[in-house]
Structures are given as C-alpha cells and as structure tokens.
Chain A
Amino acid sequence: MFKKMLIDILQAYGPSGNEHKTARILAEYMRPYCDELWVDVLGNLICHKKGISGKKIMLSAHMDQIGFIVVDIDENGFLRIANVGGILPPLSVAREVVFENGVRGVTYFETPETRDAKAVATVPNMYIDIGCTSREEAEEKVQIGDMCIFVSNYVDMGKRVASGAMDNRVCCAIIVEAMKEMQSSHDVYAVFTVQEEVGLRGAGVAAYAISPDLNINLDVTLTGDTPKTPAMSVALGKGPAIKMMDSSVIVPIAVRRFMIDCAEQADIPYQREVLRAGGTDTAAIQKTQKGILAGCISIPSRYVHTPVEVVDMDDVENTVKLIRVIVSKEQLPDTI
C-alpha cells in the first residue's frame, strides 16, 4: 500500500517552480486526512487538520526536484540547458529525461576529441537530444523555458529501494502516511513546499502565513556508510536522523531534545546527524517573523541528487512513527 503511494508520488513531475502536478497528486492523497487545503501564490500546498489546543505544528517537506531548464534550441534541434538546483554534471550525462508534456530526450555533452575518456561534463557543455533534426521541429515539442526531470526506475531491492526524486518525495509520502492515523490536540499544518532545491524559497513564505509554534521539517540527508566516503556518523537502516546542524541551520537544543525524547519514549531507533555540506528549509523557517522554532528529521539516503537515491524502508516506517509521536505530545518546546 505504502509502496504504491510512494511510487505514485516519486514519479510525479515537479522540478523547482513547476510543482503543480506533484501538488495535485499530494492534494488527492491528503484530502481525506485534513479539514482544508489550499495552494498559496508560490505553489506551496498547505493542508490543515484542526486541533483544540490553540497551538500550531507545521510539518513540512519540499516537493520540488532537481532538473534542467531549456535556455536555447540550436539550428539542429539540440536543446541547450541550465541546471535547476544542484545538478552533478558528470553523473547527469547519458541519462533519459522527460518534459511536462511527456516529450522524452537524452542528455550528453560536447566531446570535441574522439573517445576522450577524460572529458568532463559541465552544465554549459551539456545538451539534450530529443530526436529532432531542426530548430523548427524541436520547437513544436519543447519551448525555451520548459523544464525536464530525470526519468528514473523504481528499483525494489527489498528492504531498500532506489529511485530518482527520493529527495524529497519520500518525505512527502511519509507525511501523508503519518497523517493517516494522526492523534493530535494541536492544529497540524502539513506543508509541501516549493523551490527548496534552488534556495529554500517556498518554506519561508508558507511559514509566514501559518506562523506555527513549532515546525518539524523532513528532508533527506547523506550517509557515511558506503565505500570510501567522507566520515559521517549517519548510516542507512539505523533510524530517522535527528538533525543537529548542517551548513544552513542549527537546530535549537530544546527541539533536538524534544525529538530525541519522543523517539526514546516510543522505542524508535534514531541517529544524530551533523551534515557538513547541504541546507534545508528549516533554515528559512527559523528566520521567519520573530523566529519560529524549527527542527528537522532526515531520512538517510545514499547517492543524493542522482536518479538512484537509495533509502531504507525501516527508516521510512520509523520516521512515520516518530512523527505521529511528536504531534501527539501536549507539551511542545517553547524556547531553546
């Protein structure tokens, strides 16, 4: 059941700034579990479940994904592109991509020397081939300003699964699942934010409108459990990673402790995360208005920003449990 929904959400089209299709799918899943939902001017999907305590909890996860935008179409019908979000060029060539209207293409890069094994792709030297032979033919399928995303398979490896857009649709699915059997006396706002990948742009606007007492953001994080990788304590399968700090944000000590207490009381495995490089919506939310208390739970994920992002289903299940415990608490942290 969960896997079916996860696949559905993973495969939705939604590069930064073009999240409306993803929002529509999430809205359908959320509708039964909330009292009202709406989309704001930037495209954030906000789902509200009423409570009685007078306090507001905001759960958030960004729903946008990385991709490319077409900046030019040359006379032979090749598309020149710019990145939308943190693309890793060497890992992004020879990939299949798809546009919102279903047009498919493949990525490659300029190779002036024959069989140059050392040639390195960069965004400016990359292009997309959509099988057209002229500008006119290509323009009938794709226009300048259109965005595409990587096509990715859902690879079911049992306990662990791989797919593109795991960052951050797996967290969107987790929020939907958590809302299903949610017990909370608080007003719960589940917010699926836009434009995180291009600079945390949607979350602050949503937080401004909601002005919650506490925000728990969900996003993926890196792991240190693959061959020769920078030292990091987070590993797949050891439970939700409770964020201490990353390069954008420091989680308030009281919020960390609150999340850890919730996990320990409910016997949910967890790990502590310090991420050397990378940011998340939590940073933008903290800086809103008079300062909103915000923390973050991360799903450990390997190979982030590629079409084969791997997560562990036990971590997913434990995160769902942890969120349910968190929102069920009467007493929320109110200072650092």
Chain B
Amino acid sequence: MLRRLSEAVSVSGNEKEIRTVLKELVTPCDDIWTDTMGNLYVHKKGMGKKVMVCAHMDEVGMMVKGITEEGLLAYSSVGIDSRVCVSKRVFVGKDKIPGVIGSKAIHLQGRDALSKAIPHAELFVDIGAENKEDAMKYVNVGDYICFDTAFSYFGNGRIKGKALDDRLGCAVILELLKKKYDYDFYAVFTVQEEVGMRGAMAASYQIQPEFALIFEGTTANDMPELEGHQYVTKLGKGPAISMMDSATIVTPKLFRKMKQTAEENGIPYQIRQGTKGGTDAGAIHKACGGAWAIGISIPCRYIHSPIAVADISDYENTIKLADAFLTGHKIEEVK
C-alpha cells in the first residue's frame, strides 16, 4: 500500500492519480465524494462530535513553462530547492513521458561555477526531442512534471521514496478508517497544500469540524552538522506532536492531552521541536468560528526533494497514537 501511495504521480493541482488510488484502497464507508477542487471526503456517520482527520495528497513538483528551440523543457516550480533537481529522472505529463534534468558537464564548467548552486532557470528537462516541434508531439506547455522515484524498504526498518510528505499521512488515515469511533467522522484528503493549504481552506468550510487531527510528513534534520535544537524531529523516535508552526499554535491543553495519551498507552513520541513550516491545521483552526486542531507528524528526512527517508515504526506509532486518542475520548477531556 505504501508503495502505491508513494509512487502515485500527483503534483499540486493534479491529484487525480492519487485520488484514484485512495478511492480503491479506502474501506467502504457511508459516503465518499470529491469536491470541485478535488478534495476527497470519506464520511462515517456517528452520533458524537464532528471530527475531521486530514492529510494532503498532493506533492511538490514542476510544470512545463516553455519549450526551447532545441526541444528542452523549461519548468516552473514551488517549494523545491533547485540544488536537488539536478541530475534526476522525471515524468512529464499525463502519458508519463520519461525525462531527465541535466546540467552542464563538470568539464564544461569554470572553477567559479562549481561553487554556485544552479538556479531553476538554468535547468531543463530533456525528453530526447530533436527540436521544439518534435517535443510538442509528446508534451505541452502546462504539463505537470513529477520526480520518478521508486519506493523501497532499506536499512533497519527504514523506507525511502518520493512524496512521503504526505502520503504517509494518507496511509495513516486509511488505517484509521478501518476502525470505528464514536464520532461523526470525516476523513479528508486535501489538495494543493504545498501551494498554500488551498484545499484545506475549502474543506474546513464545508465540514466545519469541532475537532481536527492533521497528519503530516514533517522535516527531520537529525544530521551530523546540526545541533539538537535544529533537528525538529528525529527518525525512529515516534510520532512528532505539534506545539507550534508558522501557521498554528496548538492549544496548550490539547498539546498536553496528546502527550498524556502517548504516555498512558506506552507509545513513543517526540515533540515537533521547530516552529517553521505550516500545515493544513493552519487553515482549519481558524476557518469560520474556529476549531480545535492538532498535527501529528511522521518524521521524514529530505522532504521536498525527489527522495525522502522515514522509519516505519514512526508510521505505525502514529496510527497507534491517533487511535488511542480517538478511542480514549480524549477530545471530550480537552474541553
């Protein structure tokens, strides 16, 4: 399942493929529908409070901006560091035309150039076209470009692949949908999070939940050059509970209750020790009359690049923690 989710090609604004995969994988529920923006909703009716669980299904990527006379594709992107794009394989457009992002050979570069990052404007996708006219037989301006990265297990309980942010969150929700909770339960797979929480803004208006749980693949900087306070999260240390990010401050009572739930159930956890980056929670908590919202994140190294790394135990413990929180009626205790 994780492989299918990770390998689905669905850059922000073009979430069709992942939506199709999710519809196949989701446990049958009372109602399932897609809204006009492409958000996918799954509803399990219940008597209790209106609870929304949410993960975004889009991924970072690029779009063909123009085609040069040589038949190379210039692209536009959001939120990707140009330094990770060089020398990668990609898919272009609906037909998944294979391509590579090339750069000048090291031999052709001056000494000074080697110390500078190559900007997106100097990078092109090569699909093997002879010239512009030839390229236009296969691709069009406006086609989406997605990294071509295979998903796999490696090392000790680790996984690598693209779009772990936030397909792991989607997987958590698929697992939660197999269970039964005493809530009026909405699962929402949102679109366009990577371009500014667009899907969640619309979804929270439609659902207007009292309480929302947001699952996110978040940054893990546990790298040798850095110090503890720069890590944000560490792989293998459990789900990361959010306290504050650039779009949300979690209500202290709710933050404490989530920590307490993990402790009571013997689930390892960590705190997301950074305040940068935003998630769909930012849109949801201040929609309409406001809502309780908290994020639980699965630590991922190298997010927003062609390949990320996560620990499978963090994913499993995220499911356990969310399940314990919902089963244990912790929401009611927060109020």
**Chain A residues in contact with chain B, CB under 8 A?**
16-18, 20, 40-43, 69, 71-72, 74, 80, 82-84, 124, 144-145, 195, 198-199, 201-202, 204-205, 208-209
Which residues does chain B contribute within 8 Å of A201, judged by CB atoms? 285-286
Contacts of A195 in B (CB 8 A): 249
Complex: chain A residue closest to B230, CB-CB: A124
**B73 contacts chain A at the CB level, 8 A cutoff:** no
> How many interface residues does B have (CB within 8 Å)?
25
Assuming A17-B251, A18-B252, A82-B274, is B290 touching A41 (CB within 8 A)? yes
Contacts of A40 in B (CB 8 A): 289-290
Instruction: Identify the B interface with A (CB < 8 A).
Output: 210, 227-231, 243-244, 247, 249-252, 255, 271, 273-275, 285-286, 288-292
CA separation between A202 and B286, bound complex, in Å?
A: 7
Which residue of chain A has the shortest Cβ distance to B228 in the bound complex? A72
Query: In the complex, what distance in Å separates the CA atom of A124 from the CA atom of B230?
Result: 9
* Contact present for A145 and B228 (CB under 8 Å): no
Chain B residues whose C-beta falls within 8 Å of the C-beta of A16 in the assembled complex: 249
Tell which of A17, A82, A209 touches B252, judged by Cβ atoms closer than 8 Å.
Answer: A17
CB <8 Å contact, A209 and B275: no
Contact A145 B289 (CB under 8 A): no
A83 and B276 CA atoms in complex are apart in Å by 10
Is the pair A41, B244 in contact by a Cβ cutoff of 8 Å?
Answer: no
Question: By the criterion CB–CB under 8 Å, are A43 and B243 in contact?
Answer: no
Q: Closest CB-CB distance, B184 to chain A, in whole Å?
A: 17
Q: How far is the CA of A80 from the CA of B255 in the complex (A)?
A: 19
**What are the residues of chain A within 8 A of B288 when measuring CB–CB?**
205, 208
Contact (Cβ within 8 A) B289 A208? yes
Q: A42-B285, A43-B251 are in contact. Are A74 and B290 (CB under 8 A)?
A: no
Neighbour of B244 across the interface among A17, A20, A72, A209, CB < 8 A: A17
Q: Give min CB distance, B242 to chain A, whole Å.
A: 9
Query: Closest B-chain residue to A201, C-beta based?
Result: B286
A17-B250, A17-B252 given; A80·B228 CB < 8 A: yes
CA distance A124 to B291 in the complex (A): 31
Nearest chain A CB to B216 CB, angstrom units: 17
Q: Shortest CB–CB separation between residue B279 and chain A, in angstroms?
A: 14
Q: Is the CB of B286 within 8 A of A69?
A: no
Whether A82 and B275, one on each chain, are in contact in the complex, defined by CB atoms closer than 8 angstroms, is yes
Q: Tell me whether A41 and B291 are in contact (CB under 8 A).
A: yes
Distance in angstroms between the alpha carbons of A199 and B292 in the assembled complex: 18
Q: How far is the CB of A86 from chain B (nearest CB, A)?
A: 13
Residues of A within 8 A of B271 (CB): 144-145
In the assembled complex, the Cα of A17 lies from the Cα of B286 at a distance in Å of 13
Pairs A-B, 7 closest by C-beta atoms: A17-B249, A80-B229, A72-B229, A145-B243, A205-B290, A82-B275, A41-B290
- Give A44 Cβ to nearest chain B Cβ, in Å: 8
- Most-contacted residue by chain B among A71, A144, A208 (CB, 10 A): A71
Q: Check B252 against A41 for contact (C-beta < 8 Å).
A: no
Contacts of A42 on B, CB cut-off 8 Å?
251, 285-286, 290
Q: With a CB–CB cut-off of 8 A, which chain A residues contact B210?
A: 41
Whole-angstrom distance from the CB of B102 to the nearest CB of chain A? 36
Enumerate chain A residues within 8 angstroms of B274, measured Cβ to Cβ.
Answer: 71, 82
Q: Which residues of the other chain, A, contact B289 by a CB distance below 8 angstroms? A: 40-41, 205, 208-209
Do residues A84 and B244 form an inter-chain contact, with CB atoms below 8 A?
yes
Give complex CA distance A152, B249 in Å: 24
Closest Cβ of chain A to B222, distance in Å, is: 12
Interchain CA distance A83-B252 in the complex, whole Å: 17
Q: Cβ of A83: which chain B residues have Cβ within 8 Å of it?
A: 275
Contact (A144, B251) CB under 8 Å given A41-B291, A72-B228, A84-B244: no
- List 25 A–B pairs whose Cβ atoms lie within 8 Å, in order of A's numbering: A17-B250, A41-B210, A41-B292, A42-B251, A42-B285, A42-B286, A69-B243, A69-B244, A69-B275, A71-B274, A71-B275, A72-B228, A80-B229, A82-B274, A83-B275, A84-B275, A144-B271, A145-B243, A145-B255, A195-B249, A198-B249, A199-B247, A204-B286, A205-B289, A208-B289
